[in-house]
Amino acid sequence: MVRPAGSGRADGAGTKQGGGGGPATRTASRGARAERLAPYVLVAPAVLILVTLRLWPLVLGVNYSFTGDGADNGTPVGLGNYLELAGDPLFRTALRNVGLLVLLLPVAVAIPGLLATFIYLRVPGHRVYRGVYFFPAVLSPVIVGAIVNLMLGFDGPVNAALGTVGVGPVDWLGDPGIAMFTVTGVHVWATFGMALVVFLAGFSTLDASLLDAARVDGASLGQVVRHVIIPGLTRTIQFVFVTTLIGMLTSMFGLLFVMTSGGPEGSTYLPEYYIWHQQGQLNRPALASAASTVLFVVMLVVGLAQITLLRRAGRQD
Minimum distance, C-beta of residue 1 to another protein, in the bound complex (Å): 12
Report the Cα 291 to chain-centroid distance in Å: 18
Interaction between residue 76 and another protein (CB under 8 A) = yes
Interaction between residue 43 and another protein (CB under 8 A) = no
Q: Which of 241, 247, 236, 235 is nearest to 314 (CA)?
A: 235
Which of the residues 137 through 196 are near another protein (CB under 8 A)?
152-155, 169, 171-176
Which residue number, 169 or 232, has a Cβ lying nearer to another protein? 169
Which residue number, 18 or 89, has a Cβ lying nearer to another protein? 89
Which of the residues 246 through 265 are near another protein (CB under 8 A)?
260-261, 263-265
Interaction between residue 108 and another protein (CB under 8 A) = no
Question: What gap in Å lies between CA 253 and CA 310, rounded to an integer?
Answer: 27
Question: What gap in Å lies between CA 206 and CA 225, rounded to an integer?
Answer: 12
Which residue number, 261 or 306, has a Cβ lying nearer to another protein? 261
Question: Distances from the Cα of 43 to the Cαs of 47, 48, 50, 52, 83, in angstroms?
Answer: 6, 9, 11, 14, 40
Minimum distance, C-beta of residue 89 to another protein, in the bound complex (Å): 9
Query: Which positions lie near another protein, rule CB under 8 A?
Result: 59-60, 62-67, 69-70, 73-79, 90, 152-155, 169, 171-176, 260-261, 263-266, 276-277, 279-283, 285-286, 288-289
